[in-house]
Structure 1
Amino acid sequence: MSNPDLPPRIPGDRRGWLTFTAGLDIALQNAEDSTQAADFDAGTQKRSRPATDTEKTLLRALGLRLPEDRPGATEADRLHTTVEFLSSTLRRRTWPALADQTPTP
């Protein structure tokens, strides 16, 4: 996936870094909607899972450096997403491996 043009982010949003002021390109939005449905269907309040290709594309587009992109990276460096439901429908995604970075506004 190429580096997409993204709408402005909503800074400080409780849902996490991948919240934007407008919809994404249709393919990205469909993938994000599918991931949200799968996270909801998993039925757990908090869990960790491998980051999706779409999440990784969006994070890279925000200027973040993923551990798996480093030279010599191994399967152990694969990016994981922490999914937490703050309420029955409010999902927050974080990436502990990226905690020392700040996304581009």
Structure 2
Amino acid sequence: MENYQGQLDGIFQALADPTRRAVLSRLGAGPASISELAKPFAMALPSFMKHIHLLEGSGLILTRKQGRVRTCAIEKNQFALVEKWLSAQHAIWEGRTDRLEQFVTAQQREDQK
């Protein structure tokens, strides 16, 4: 379970930055080269590469080098971890709101007596 939490920490850290989220959005359309991904951003390539390394380190993307071109692609398995965690949180909050609704309804019935 601790490894799972550590993975989530890295994923959410990667998702916390708007540049990295924009890269992931672009990769949602399909694989792209580093230079193609870097074009929309006004930053030096070494700075942009820090974002790529963090995304790769968190497992959200995979990179592969072919000749002189490094291509990035989304790694869907890590998104499944996030979805699993968010679903569990959703179930917890849904249960809490259901219990609150039951409590309020019971209180209203008591007040009407």
* TM-score (ref. length: structure 2): 0.29
Report the structure, 1 or 2, having the larger helix content: 2
* TM-score (ref. length: structure 1): 0.31
Structure ID, larger Rg: 2
